[in-house]
Structure 1
Amino acid sequence: MSRPNAQSMKPATAAKKLDVYLPATPAEFQANAITRDELAALQADPPQWLTDLRKNGPHPKNLVAAKLGVSIAGLARGGVTDALTTEQIDALLADKPDWLVAERESYQNVLAEQRRVKALHAEKAR
């Protein structure tokens, strides 16, 4: 990995762009700045560790929330504070605890309201 400069990013930024949980990445990735070219190379031809992380996790909260169909705040309300693996996410989807059912319904209501407001604004803009 490279030295920091104007064309590099912190490991946390690179992990976010790669949709992986930073603490689960290799130590070398966490310790060094990543250039845009290195990031592009990781995206174009992911190494095995990146492929495994994307497939099995642990996944960052934004991906956990998306896979469960809830908001990040909904995860917190449900007591999920740590990154989850794909297996743990699948278990939650199979078990459907009460908090998950309620948060999914709430999240769908929020999305429906956002669509309604967006349509209303588009209508007024005409």
Structure 2
Amino acid sequence: MTSQKHSQTMKPATAAKKLGVYLEATPAEFQDGVVSRDELNALQADPPVWLRELRRDGPHPRPVVADKLGVSISGLARAGITEPLTTDQIVALKEEQPGWLRRERSTRAEAQREAARLKGEKSGT
């Protein structure tokens, strides 16, 4: 008896998260189907035009927005930013440097320094 190898599949939301794109901005055929591991790998290796455009222009999901702004996802929530932002909106916020953005960047930097310090203590350095 031989066993057949079944391709692992995932929901579109999971695939969009792995691709770093906002699901609601993806094409309908992507949103309505399932994505196999092979399809995901193909999308990552040779992104189609729609994926390249989404990654470049957005709208971007919150984790990507937070990373591009240098803040945490919680920092976005504290600032009242709950919707996806486009690249142009992110650039405008970086240029504007509102008070919340400066505070949240400082908070994130401090948290990263503390994490590095604790990691150093744990490793004995």
Report whether the alignment pairs 1:47 with 2:59. Answer: no
Pairs aligned (count): 120
Percent identity, please: 57
Deviations 1:23-55 (A, max 9, x none): 000010000000111111111111100000000
Look up the SS of the partner of 2:16 in the other structure.
Answer: helix
Give the match for residue 88 of structure 1.
89
- What are structure 1's unaligned runs of at least 5 residues? none
Look up the SS of the partner of 1:70 in the other structure.
Answer: coil
Report whether the alignment pairs 1:113 with 2:114. Answer: yes
Report whether the alignment pairs 1:24 with 2:4. Answer: no
- For 1:64-75, list aligned pairs within 5 A: 64-75=65-76
**2:28, 2:123 → 1: CA distance?**
48
CA RMSD of aligned residues (A): 1.1
TM score, norm. by length of structure 2: 0.93
Give the ranges of 4+ consecutive aligned residues of structure 1 lying more than 6 Å apart after TM superposition. Answer: none
- What are structure 2's unaligned runs of at least 5 residues? 1-5
1:120 Cα deviation from its structure 2 partner:
0.4
1:6 Cα deviation from its structure 2 partner:
5.8
